[in-house]
Structure 1
């Protein structure tokens, strides 16, 4: 964890430099604030409007976490079924790939027509963007289990269930966490897209209202909030990986 903070100053310095260049360029070019506000105006709006913003943040966080949890459960269960039952994998896996070719922004209005403006269509949107990376990552982890270890356990009299729970599942954890990191960031964007469907609160609602009233500074506040939440979720998954996957070789950890 110490290395993360030591190395973290480099991207932070680059980000600070970009903000400084942005501020200077906007002031020198005399760009109207409604077109492209300087970073100082954006941060000022975030501080002054925090009381109204935090309600939207809280709504998006709760929706993201709930959708991410459902997507994780469905993704992991799907991966286990496809791994343990080969004929299901052959029949279903191509359909899973096809499901990812349907644009969520196109599917979302249909879900509203079919299911109304409640929370269900929003959770379906988040689940659709979350479960696939987890399914693929877990399947890859199951397949990467060394054959010699499987052979050894079978020679020792292990059953198929024991082989899965004591070898294949633990061995798949690094790959599974890779999928969780991707899905954690997707969950925030999925929540924002779902909030465009007609939610009462959320970053998506905040962004829509700001855009329609030409409050570009608030639009950027919403963008930075989405980025911050995505990084926060990613960091939480990374911390959980470091705490749970302690058996990885040191070489793998250094990479």
Structure 2
């Protein structure tokens, strides 16, 4: 059996990337084309539904204003998500070590996810003011639960045989957690991380709606009040790009933290 040449091996990642991203790219371009054609040919007013080309042009012309409002949203997102990450990890360790605590707290965590953000955000701003703190709290509120659930499920995914083997070698509960339960939770954790990061920007924008001096939420609100649908959509595009960048960053971090996972990916057809 002959081994593949170096050129074939070099082209394999390219073919994999084409197979993975080409269908989504075609669908996205087709959607933009349909939107552009409908907005220009249907007779609908540009104030109601501007075509994508106008949205991009307006965003470019107002790029300085957009950038000035992206930075506060990004800051609130990162600080809030960092606080959420620390909170989820600490709580996951506590409920893993103390099962009665899990039974006591998990119903409260589930209830916290049923609270409508649009109703909670004004109250948080009223209690904590218009600064960065309420935005951090609101982002943490909407993002910590998926990571908490992912971590706790990951801890429980360790095979009983491995735990029994480590226990027979004298490993205590803390060492068992570090050597087996925490590494086993990594794939679950990164799955929860990817879900949470998509909510983080939305949580920050909702917090800005409730009260802020700057941010994409305020930018969208001001553009709506001025009947600038093109600027509203430009801000929406900016928030989507920001979310995709943060999502991509989680993938990079996962590859760095779990290099062994890439070996399995490379062997897929």
Q: Please, what TM-score do these two structures have when normalized by structure 2? A: 0.90
Which residue is 1:78 aligned to? 91
Alpha-carbon spacing, 1:249–1:20, altered in 2? closer, same or farther (3 Å): closer
Which residue is 1:175 aligned to? 188
Structure 1 stretches lacking a partner, 5+ long: none
For residues 66-97 of structure 1, the C-alpha deviation after alignment (integer angstroms, 9 at most, x for no partner) is 11100011011111111111111111111111
CA distance in 2, matches of 1:26, 1:94: 47
Pick the aligned partner of 2:113 from 81, 89, 100.
100
- Measured after TM superposition, the shift of residue 249 of structure 1 is 8.6
Higher Rg of the two aligned structures: 2
CA distance in 2, matches of 1:5, 1:203: 33
Task: Find the residue that maps to 1:158 and give its secondary structure.
Answer: coil
Pick the aligned partner of 1:14 from 2, 23, 27.
27
CA distance in 2, matches of 1:70, 1:91: 22
Task: Find the residue that maps to 1:196 and give its secondary structure.
Answer: helix
Instruction: Show the 5 A alignment for 1:227-246.
Output: 227-246=240-259
Q: Over aligned residues, Cα RMSD in angstroms?
A: 1.7
Residues 255 and 262 in structure 2, CA contact (< 8 A), matched pair in contact too: no
Alpha-carbon spacing, 1:237–1:4, altered in 2? closer, same or farther (3 Å): farther
Instruction: Report the number of matched residues.
Output: 255
- Measured after TM superposition, the shift of residue 138 of structure 1 is 0.3
Pick the aligned partner of 1:91 from 104, 109, 133.
104
Which residue is 1:115 aligned to? 128
Which residue is 1:140 aligned to? 153
Pick the aligned partner of 2:164 from 151, 161, 164.
151
CA distance in 1, matches of 2:134, 2:77: 13
CA distance in 2, matches of 1:252, 1:139: 25
CA distance in 2, matches of 1:65, 1:167: 30
Pick the aligned partner of 1:64 from 72, 77, 92.
77
For residues 128-156 of structure 1, the C-alpha deviation after alignment (integer angstroms, 9 at most, x for no partner) is 01110110000010011111110110011
CA distance in 1, matches of 2:66, 2:264: 44
- Measured after TM superposition, the shift of residue 120 of structure 1 is 1.4
Instruction: Show the 5 A alignment for 1:207-226.
Output: 207-226=220-239
Pick the aligned partner of 1:162 from 161, 169, 175.
175
CA distance in 1, matches of 2:41, 2:56: 19
CA distance in 2, matches of 1:172, 1:180: 12
Moved more, 45-54 or 3-12: 3-12
CA distance in 1, matches of 2:218, 2:132: 14
For residues 166-211 of structure 1, the C-alpha deviation after alignment (integer angstroms, 9 at most, x for no partner) is 1100110000001111111111101100111221111111100001
For residues 27-84 of structure 1, the C-alpha deviation after alignment (integer angstroms, 9 at most, x for no partner) is 1111101100011100101111111111111111111111110001101111111111
Moved more, 240-249 or 109-118: 240-249
- The reply to whether residue 126 of structure 1 matches residue 139 of structure 2 is yes
CA distance in 1, matches of 2:220, 2:17: 32
Alpha-carbon spacing, 1:37–1:28, altered in 2? closer, same or farther (3 Å): same
- The reply to whether residue 196 of structure 1 matches residue 209 of structure 2 is yes
Moved more, 238-247 or 73-82: 238-247
